[in-house]
Amino acid sequence: MLPLPAFEDNYVWLLHDGNGHALVVDPGDPAPVQQAMQTLGVQLKGILFTHHHADHTGGIAVLHQATGAPVYGPKTESIAGLTHTVQGDDTIQVLETDFVVMDVPGHTLGHIAFYAPRAAGGPLLFCGDTLFSAGCGRLFEGTPAQMMQSLASLAALPGNTRVCCTHEYTLSNLKFAAAVEPDNQDLLHHTAWCMQVRQQGKPTLPSSIELENAINPFLRVRQPQVAAAAHGFDPTIDPQDALAVWAALRRWKNVFK
Ligand SMILES: [Zn+2]
Ligand SMILES: [Zn+2]
């Protein structure tokens, strides 16, 4: 499993099975995918899309034409070139691996995630722009309640699930997370590790559900320090109200520098 860098900070995830077959997720740019196919000597057997934003879907026509691979994407979003539309609780099989589709509205209304509970090497999640390491996607279309529920469904997956997010936002998310929870030791340790790997030009991903539950403020709204920090940002909210805390965190992150 490889994150192929694209544009400024996108990753196109490529999963290959060791038998010359691969799938890719959210190829906004076809070029890094075509290059990796050549380097690795793999054929594309599936192209998966989580949502309709152009930095995720831009490679659809070129890759489908070049490979004939089936193209999966959300039923309720308009993406030209899908061959299979899917929605929550559907299961698709690609590379002889079952992927369960999860509806995760919030960043966009039809956003889906692909979860492979029995992938080789352990459970695997492709979550697009819903869950980022130490953060989450902006609410372009959905409500805080929708996004909080979507994140809760991802946070409930097994702790060893590898989390493949589509952007390298980790260090800036960690900066915000540290402002929310300055005493979170897991957060401080992970920040030190991420700074090191970014200095080496390597990705901080994949993350894991266990790690995100320990460091991601958007999954930790019931922690007293998180609730207190959100209340400090917006004293009008009730710190016992998890949704109000979550929404305040999201508003705070939008203006955080
Ligand atoms: Zn997006
Ligand atoms: Zn994106």
pLDDT of the chain, 257 residues: tens digit per residue:
999 999 999 999 999 999 999 999 999 999 999 999 999 999 999 999 999 999 999 999 999 999 999 999 999 999 999 999 999 999 999 999 999 999 999 999 999 999 999 999 999 999 999 999 999 999 999 999 999 999 999 999 999 999 999 999 999 999 999 999 999 999 999 999 999 999 999 999 999 999 999 999 999 999 999 999 999 999 999 999 999 999 999 999 999 99
Determine the distance separating the centroid of ligand 1 and the alpha carbon of 35, expressed in angstroms. Answer: 24
User: To which residue do tokens 């030791």 refer?
Assistant: 185
Distance (Å, rounded) from C-alpha 25 to C-alpha 50?
8
For 167, which DSSP code? Answer: B
Report how far ligand 2's centroid is from the alpha carbon of 165 (Å): 9
**Predicted TM-score of the model (pTM):** 0.98
Q: Please list, in sequence order, all residues whose beta carbon lies within 8 angstroms of the beta carbon of residue 224, skipping any fewer than 6 positions away.
A: none
CA of 3 to the centre of ligand 2 (A): 14
Ligand nearest to the backbone CA of 108: 1
Distance 55 CA to ligand 2 centre (A): 6
Tell me which residues have their CB within 5 A of the ion that is ligand 2: 55, 129
Ligand showing the shortest atom-to-Cα distance for residue 9: 2
Residues marked as catalytic: 51, 53, 55-56, 107, 129, 167
Q: ∠ at Cα 111 (105, 116), nearest 5°? A: 110
* Residue-averaged pLDDT of the chain: 98
Q: Give the distance (Å) from ligand 2 centre to CA of residue 53.
A: 7
Give the ligand whose atoms come closest to the C-alpha of residue 138.
1
Q: Check if the beta carbon of residue 22 is closer than 8 Å to that of residue 95.
A: yes
CA of 240 to the centre of ligand 1 (A): 30
